[in-house]
Amino acid sequence: MTVTTVTPPNEGSQKPILAFAVAALVIVALGAYSLGGARQAGAALIGGLAGLSLYHASFGFTAAWRHIVTEKRGTGLRAQFVLILLTSAVAFPLIAWGGDFGMPTGGFVFPFGYAAAVGAFMFGLGMQLGGGCASGTLFTAGGGSTRMMVTLAAFILGSVLATAHMHLWGQLPKLPAYSLVSNFGPLAAFAITAVVLGAIAVATIKIEKKAHGRVLEARKTASLTTGPWSPMLGAVMLAVVGILTFIVVGRPWGITSGFALWGAKVFAAIGIPVETWPYWQWQTKALEASVLSDSTSVMNFGIIFGALAAAALAGKFAPVWHLSARDLLTAIVGGLLMGYGARLAYGCNIGAYLGGIVSGSMHGWLWLVFAFAGSLLGTRLRLKLGMG
């Protein structure tokens, strides 16, 4: 890894932004501590690390999936696989044996059926139109992207709208939940995961060599503090985030359930009786409590402020307030599709894809298949709309 000293542009004008970001993260952590103790405060700080890492590495799932199709470049996909394997190496043993050592840890293991397939496809389509997945939306919005702020608002709206219909979607047929860890043990489950991801990685290398004659060189890390980071450094740091989430929160990293909760609270505040919806009838305490009592929400706030701090460190916080009609429309449509789809399919790239696979759950793999299919359609639509 090559690291050089880089002086960020506009350094002086960014100092108040950096101070605000750090202060906001501290306030969130203190508020979380007052409601949930050290674990809840830890979730906020882990979220801050996630936001910093996501921003400096520009680590998004959306662009990586698009690049293998449009540019025949697999660097981003291979970085995702490194993230999954590093996290799984710790998560699988924790899920299987953590309780024996006083560290009870649960995974995301869910059934997968028609609703989840539709939801994953919707999400894949929406993330290409919206310009980012859930984590991508949070860190780019936190970094100052006004377009992604629109996407985030639509994402939240789509999430809460989906909760109105979840009891209907839940009636559709589904495959039973299946766990590699439970059925094969953590070591064999890891070997299976490594072989499958390794095979896909080899395929991306062949695709890249066929298109370019060689494997193209990835971006190198310029500076640890101001970025940008290499994709592999981003993968390592996000694996740290995922592992810490297992240890501190006791489950995989998730994002989109927080969006549904935020939207439900807004709906309730304006008089829409979400508490009567079947989805929320077993979560009335969450509706009544502070959002700082929800570990997913706390981590999401941490991501936003961590990314804001990273943007300030890089000297790049400079929101552009003029958006074209196309930008607004695609941001809204993409956000709505992602929000609705994420609820149907147990989450996003983080909660369903990453969270599912690092839990050893088959639903994570199936989510990948259907979401990638939606992403292919979304990529074609981007090209037709002149979005690049």
pLDDT at 30: 97
- Mind giving me the DSSP string for 321-381? ----HHHHHHHHHHHHHHHHHHHHTTSSIIIIIIHHHTTTBHHHHHHHHHHHHHHHHHHHH
Question: Per residue in 71-98, pLDDT tens?
Answer: 999 999 999 999 999 999 999 999 999 9
Q: Which of 358, 101, 144, 145 lies closest to 235, judged by CA?
A: 358
Neighbouring residues of 127: CB distance < 8 A, sequence distance ≥ 6: 61, 62, 133, 136, 334, 338, 349, 375, 378
pLDDT at 11: 56
The answer to whether residues 195 and 42 touch, using CB atoms and an 8 Å cutoff, is no
Q: Which residues of the chain have pLDDT under 70?
A: 1-12, 388
pLDDT at 330: 93
| Cis check: omega of the bond before 231, within 30 degrees of 0 | no
Angle between helices 295-313 and 134-142 (to 10 degrees): 50
For 95, the token pair is 């899920």
Q: Break the chain into its structural domains and give their ranges.
A: 11-384
- Mind giving me the DSSP string for 172-190? S-EEPP-BHHHHH-HHHHH
pLDDT at 91: 97
Q: Which of 347, 325, 361 lies closest to 127, judged by CA?
A: 347
pLDDT at 133: 81
pLDDT at 388: 67
Q: Which of 11, 3, 45 lies closest to 28, judged by CA?
A: 45
For tokens 């009870």, name the residue.
Answer: 104
Give the C-alpha separation, 4 to 162, whole Å.
47
Long-range contacts of 95-102 (CB under 8 A, 24+ apart): 95/181, 95/186, 95/359, 95/360, 96/181, 96/185, 96/186, 97/186
Helical ranges in 213-324 per DSSP H: 231-249, 256-269, 278-281, 284-288, 295-313
The answer to whether residues 58 and 68 touch, using CB atoms and an 8 Å cutoff, is no
Give the C-alpha separation, 134 to 139, whole Å.
9
Neighbouring residues of 118: CB distance < 8 A, sequence distance ≥ 6: 341, 344, 345, 370
pLDDT at 243: 97
